[in-house]
Amino acid sequence: MARILIVEARFYDHLADMLLAGARAAIEAAGHVHETVTVPGALEVPGAIALAAETGRYEGFVALGTVIRGETYHFEIVANESARGIMALTMDGLPIGNGILTTENEAQAIVRADPAQLDKGGGAAQAALAMLALKGRFG
């Protein structure tokens, strides 16, 4: 049984709730345990994972959040830099499932976040568990 940390950005509470529900259900269905920490937005997710990884208390991580395109370049910065930070951590060997949505609008985000639709939170948890299993195979 692995201990998985879910790091969720709560910038859009209603979307975060759906992503979190999907991730928790997937982890529990696989027989693992989880804890959740909350950060303000997607840019803070990689930093929180890095801090938690230093403790050695978690075997895997799930990154959750939503970035919706707005009228400024800020969307690209948040989307790209949060993904870059997560990718850097995975390249360092951390099993992370990236469930940070990057969408054009809220309607797209709802479809992706909703566990009854595309369930990207659950998919991110499954990806983290798959990478954890792969790490065990190679480790």
Residues assigned a catalytic role: 74
- Sheet containing strand 3-9, strands side by side: 33-39, 3-9, 60-68, 96-103
**Would you say 80 is a known binding-site residue?**
no
Does 96 count as an annotated binding residue? no
Q: 42 labelled as ligand-binding?
A: yes
User: Binding site annotation covers 86?
Assistant: no
What contacts 55, CB < 8 A, 6 or more positions away? Answer: none
Q: Is 71 annotated as a binding residue?
A: yes
67 annotated to bind ligand: yes
Determine whether the annotation assigns residue 7 to a binding site: no
Which one-letter DSSP state was computed for residue 43?
A: G
**Sequence-separated (6 or more) residues with CB below 8 Å from residue 63:** 7, 45, 46, 49, 82, 86, 96, 97, 98, 99, 100, 124
Binding-site members are 11, 42-44, 66-68, 71-72, 98, 112
Binding-site members for 5-amino-6-(D-ribitylamino)uracil are 11, 42-44, 66-68, 98
Binding-site members for (2S)-2-hydroxy-3-oxobutyl phosphate are 71-72, 112
